């Protein structure tokens, strides 16, 4: 049975979950096409290219709309600019990073370039300064470091999850690609730290 999300009370949802058989994930029957459309965009070849491309376009638009506040001519102090960046722009590219962090290096580089461009624009940093020093001076993590950190937190949450089916998604029980040149979610934190 698929319940309409807008007209269903929490009490009805709890009753449906209680009626599920053992071994079936809670909420399995509650998923419908509208909910699936809101998931991150993943293409046929599992490269996350479409998702990262749409996120970069969304980030460019957001940065343009906030240019009056974050741009070089803004009178806002650097701490306030950093706060605005962390609360409005960073959540856009970190959404779902535990999963899309498995994307290829070239796709992750797209977001790395955006972050560097945004920081240079916000603080008026010249091109002669290395990106490494920008991140060190501002105390920020790169996209790869964020992916590794968030993936590790995600794996820890899965191992401590109360649902038995969630344990199958983490650690040695997770689906791992052996022949393909793809990174898997459980070892994502190792990919960027080594």
pLDDT tens, 23-35? 555 555 555 555 5
Helix (H) or strand (E) holding 15: helix 10-18
In a domain, 44, yes or no: no
Per-residue pLDDT, averaged over 78-105, amounts to 89
Same domain, residue pair 28 and 61? no
Highest mean pLDDT among 3-12, 19-28, 54-63: 54-63
In a domain, 151, yes or no: yes
Same domain, residue pair 139 and 56? yes
Same domain, residue pair 67 and 101? yes
In a domain, 148, yes or no: yes
Q: Which of 64, 160, 181 is nearest to 114 (CA)?
A: 64
Task: Look up residue 180 and give its two tokens.
Answer: 């393909």
Same domain, residue pair 89 and 140? yes
Range of the domain at 25: 1-39
Tell me the per-residue pLDDT of 95-123, one tens digit each, with 9 for 90 and over.
Answer: 888 878 778 889 899 999 999 999 999 99
- Orientation of helix 105-123 relative to helix 49-65, angle to 10°: 10
Same domain, residue pair 58 and 138? yes
- Between residues 13 and 25, the one the model is more confident about: 13
- Please list, in sequence order, all residues whose beta carbon lies within 8 angstroms of the beta carbon of residue 174, skipping any fewer than 6 positions away: 168, 184, 185, 186
Same domain, residue pair 17 and 69? no
Per-residue pLDDT, averaged over 80-100, amounts to 91
Q: How far apart are CA 23 and CA 166, in angstroms?
A: 11
pLDDT level of residue 87 (50, 70, 90 thresholds) = very high
Domains held by the chain: number: 2
């Amino acid at each position: 049975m698929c319940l309409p999300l807008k007209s269903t009370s929490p009490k009805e949802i709890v009753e449906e979950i209680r009626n599920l058989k053992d071994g079936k994930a809670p909420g399995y029957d509650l998923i419908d096409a509208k909910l699936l459309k809101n998931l991150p965009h993943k293409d046929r070849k599992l490269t996350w290219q479409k998702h990262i491309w749409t996120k970069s376009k969304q980030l460019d638009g957001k940065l343009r709309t906030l240019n009056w506040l974050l741009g070089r001519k803004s009178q806002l102090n650097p701490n306030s600019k950093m706060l605005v960046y962390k609360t409005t722009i960073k959540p856009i590219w970190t959404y779902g990073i535990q999963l899309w962090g498995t994307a290829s290096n070239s796709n992750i580089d797209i977001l790395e370039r955006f972050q560097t461009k945004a920081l240079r624009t916000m603080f008026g940093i010249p091109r002669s300064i290395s990106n490494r020093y920008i991140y060190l001076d501002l105390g920020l993590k790169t996209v790869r470091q964020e992916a590794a950190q968030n993936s590790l937190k995600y794996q820890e949450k899965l191992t401590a999850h109360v649902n038995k089916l969630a344990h199958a998604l983490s650690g040695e029980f997770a689906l791992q690609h052996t022949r393909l040149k793809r990174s898997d979610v459980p070892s994502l934190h190792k990919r960027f730290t080594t």
